[in-house]
Amino acid sequence: GQSPQWWHRASVYQIYPASFKDSNADGIGDIQGIIQKVPYIASLGVDAVWLSPCYESPLVDMGYDISDYRKIDPKYGSVEDIETLIKELGKHNIKLLMDLVVNHTSDQHAWFKESRSSKDNPKRNWYVWRKGTKETNPDGTFELRPPNNWESLFKGSAWTYDELTDEWYLRIFASEQPDLNWENPDTRKAVHDDMRFWLDKGIGGFRMDVINMISKPEGLPNVQVTKPGPYQPAHDLYCNGPRIHEFINEINTQVLAAYKDIMTVGEVPFTRDPEVVRKYVEPARKELSMLFQFDIVDLDTVGGPGGKFHHVPVTPHMLKKTVTKWQTALSYSKGAWATVFLESHDTARSVTRFGDGTSKNRFKVAKMLSLMLNSLMGTVFIMQGQEIGIANYTADIDLEQYTDIETKGLWNEIYAERKWKSGHADPDMSDVMQQVRLKARDHGRIPMPWRHGAKNAGFSDADKPWAPINTDVAECNFSDQDKDTASVLNFWRNMLQLRKEWSDTLVLGDFVPVDIDEGPVFAYKRVGASGNGVLAVMNLSNEEALTWQSPADMKCDFKLIKSTSSVENAEKMVNVSGQAVKLTLHAYD
């Protein structure tokens, strides 16, 4: 195998630039704001920052629609600001990972403007253009039909008609996010060059947006019909396509290999088979360092992201089973690395989704989940605010204040369907509103509550920040938690430090299930190469206190992690074989 790289033992902090810290009072977070907060970031003990896109963008999808890969949007700052950020983070040995969004560009990208301009433009073939069909109705009117029945992940057809040339372009996401044609070597080369632009500035690597979607199946065939309506979920066709490994290997060997110590994390929606995942991350194949895979994050969702407003309650057993599935399929000793995460800018907040949502339990849930993440195999990713146990927007935030394109798309689809089915002009949507409160991406993008009592919680001096500040700042903010040794924030800091200290077991060790049954207690060992181990035990129930019987055949002495607030309190060597272990609510104590 491969000897451990820096990124195996690393933990990564995700920053969503619009919502982190606004330095110039225009209501939008920016790079200078991040620079101001570098000492705070360093105080967490993380090794890298993943910065969500802040490139030039019309912001149809909050920056995941990029119009120039080499420019920073003036709303966020400048390329020089990024250079400063790299330098300032570097003083604390923290690397910067940029977001690489190259399945699609913005429709305002110069490449697409050219491509769209005429059928014989040299860049025509940089995107996916096809002829549609025309169907004439009995009354003589006609309808234009897209080239195939694929549905967009933001709803509606995955194709947009362009009158100018009477053809359609593929766009798996919004109409303003045309898919690049990776079959074309010139397109690939242009992307490679844009990657080098940032690598030359000394970044530590890339997070690669929907990277498993860049190879489309030959002939773009219709997908089998699985639901009512003209457009059908087609992710099984465009995810992990025929040339995917070739394209990624090319990025690795033609671009990344020329730079030292680069880390890559590929985002792979709709990928649930560990064997498919392995192929991307086996070092010998020279593809990616690790992947974001969504089995755990989508546990409460029917049929993957598209069904996210159809909620399934998560039982402790579901969580135990799915964590165990991935922790045993991949491991350092098996030569396939992984990520550990519960939140991103695409998810709601874990304390609300996995907890019972009450203020009473919120911080206990946050610590329990931190204990779980930090005792699992993989590189840990923390979404900004997760380290203080930030929760979803409260119920006083109403629908108009939810601005995410996915939230709106899903809402409108369900609304239209209900209107059509019931014949009511204004169908009841209260159950969907509950889903929005529970699952909308907006919750991952809440402006950071730096200080209680300050204007906009210290996020911005503007009169109206781009997104609402949550109403629970008194209960949850950075400055109060910083001072409180028993806070979630200090628990995270301690866990990240412990993870470093015990990295041979906590990071690189094998995952050995101990209690993965139907009961409320989750227990597993992490066993290092030396045979030493750590036992992690968590109470996933709502019971205030319960007792868990440790198996009698647990021969060796195991380190025991508790969700107490200091590393000193973690017991370094305790023999728990056959002992009764007392667990308090959501936390081992």
For 156-201, strand residue ranges (E) read: 159-162, 167-170
Least distance CB 414 / ligand TEU (angstroms): 15
DSSP 272-291: --HHHHHHHH-GGG---SEE
Catalytic residue among 22, 30, 61, 267: 267
The β-bridge partners of 14 are: 50, 383
Minimum distance from CB of 313 to ligand TEU (Å)? 18
Cα of 85 vs its chain's centroid, Å: 22
Q: How many residues bind Ca ion (CB under 5 A)?
A: 5
Both structure tokens of 318: 């579901």
Helix, strand and coil percent figures for the chain, each rounded to 5: 35, 20, 45
Question: What does 26 interact with, of ligand TEU, Ca ion, none (CB < 5 to 8 A by kind)?
Answer: Ca ion
Does 267 participate in catalysis according to the annotation? yes
> Under DSSP, is residue 264 helix (H, G, I), strand (E, B) or coil?
strand
Q: Give least dist CB 208 to ligand TEU, A.
A: 10
Give backbone dihedrals phi and psi of 11, rounded to 5 degrees, phi first.
-120, 145
CB closer to ligand TEU out of 187 and 494? 187
Binds 64: which of Ca ion, ligand TEU, none (CB < 5-8 Å by kind): ligand TEU
Judging by DSSP bridges, how do beta strands 133-136 and 545-549 pair with one another? unpaired
Cα–Cα dist 146/160, whole Å: 8
Q: Among residues 22 and 298, whose Cβ is nearest to ligand TEU? A: 298
| Cβ-contact 226, 233 below 8 angstroms | yes
176 in contact with Ca ion (CB under 5 A): no
Q: Is residue 73 a contact residue for Ca ion (CB under 5 A)?
A: no
One-letter amino acid of 374: N
Residue whose CB is less far from ligand TEU, 148 or 347: 347
Rounded to a whole number of angstroms, the minimum distance from the CB of residue 303 to ligand TEU is: 11
DSSP lists the bridge partners of residue 48 as: 12, 95
Closest CA to 333 of 514, 526, 523: 526
Q: What's the min distance (Å) between Cβ of 354 and ligand TEU?
A: 16
Which partner, ligand TEU, Ca ion, none, binds residue 346 by CB below 5 to 8 Å per kind? ligand TEU
| 305 binding partner (options Ca ion, ligand TEU, none; Cβ < 5 to 8 Å by kind) | ligand TEU
Shortest CB 63 distance to ligand TEU, Å: 8
Is residue 482 involved in binding Ca ion (CB under 5 A)? no
Give the CB-nearest residue to Ca ion. Answer: 30
Q: How far is the CB of 510 from ligand TEU (least distance, A)?
A: 31
Which one of Ca ion, ligand TEU, none is in contact with 406 (Cβ closer than 5 to 8 A by kind)? ligand TEU
Binding mask 15-54 for Ca ion (x = CB under 5 A): -------x-x-x-x-x------------------------
d(CA 100, CA 196): 12
Neighbours of 138 (CB within 10 A): 5
Phi and psi at residue 439, to the nearest 5°: -125, -10
Q: Residue 11: how many CA atoms within 13 Å on its side-chain side?
A: 31
Q: Which residue number, 32 or 271, has a Cβ lying nearer to Ca ion?
A: 32
**C-beta closer to Ca ion: residue 24 or 566:** 24
Angle at which helix 316-329 crosses helix 274-281, to 10 degrees, equals: 40
Contact partner, 24, from Ca ion, ligand TEU, none, Cβ < 5-8 Å per class? Ca ion
Q: Which is nearer to Ca ion, 26 or 295 (CB)?
A: 26
C-alpha neighbours within 13 Å on the C-beta side of residue 25: 4
Least separation, in Å, of the C-beta of 235 and ligand TEU? 8
- DSSP annotation string for 353-399: HHS---HHHHHHHHHHHHHHHHTSSSEEEEETTGGGT--PPPTTS-G
The label of the residue with tokens 């253009």 reads 129
3-class secondary-structure state, position 309: coil
The span from the CA of 148 to the CA of 132, in Å, is: 8
Rounded distance between C-alpha atoms, residue 203 and residue 205, angstroms: 6
Backbone angles phi, psi at 513, to 5 degrees: -65, 140
Q: Among residues 124 and 445, whose Cβ is nearest to ligand TEU?
A: 445
Question: If contact means CB under 5 to 8 A according to the sort of partner, which of Ca ion, ligand TEU, none does residue 30 touch?
Answer: Ca ion
The entry of Ca ion, ligand TEU, none near residue 22 (CB within 5 to 8 angstroms by kind) is Ca ion
Binding at 61: pick from ligand TEU, Ca ion, none (beta carbon under 5-8 Å per type): ligand TEU
Catalytic entry in 30, 209, 346, 406:
209
Q: 28 or 581: whose CB is closer to ligand TEU?
A: 28
Q: How many residues belong to the chain? A: 589
* Radius of gyration from C-alpha coordinates of the chain: 24
Structure tokens that stand for 328 in this block: 């045993």
Q: The tokens 């390329």 sit on which residue?
A: 79
Distance CA 387, CA 491 (A): 8
Residue 81 annotated in active site: no
Which residues from 201-260 bind Ca ion, rule CB under 5 A? none
Given the complex with Ca ion, which of 26 and 482 has the nearer CB atom? 26
Nearest one of 466, 577, 477 to 523, comparing CA atoms: 577
- The binding site for ligand TEU (CB under 6 A) comprises 61, 64, 101, 153, 173, 209-210, 269, 305, 308, 345-346, 406, 441
The binder of 173, among ligand TEU, Ca ion, none, by C-beta within 5 to 8 A per type, is ligand TEU
Which residue, 126 or 478, has its beta carbon nearer to ligand TEU?
Answer: 126
Contact 382, 366 (CB under 8 A): no
Q: How far is the CB of 332 from ligand TEU (least distance, A)?
A: 26
Would you tell me which residues interact with Ca ion (CB under 5 A)? Answer: 22, 24, 26, 28, 30
- Which residues form the catalytic set? 209, 267
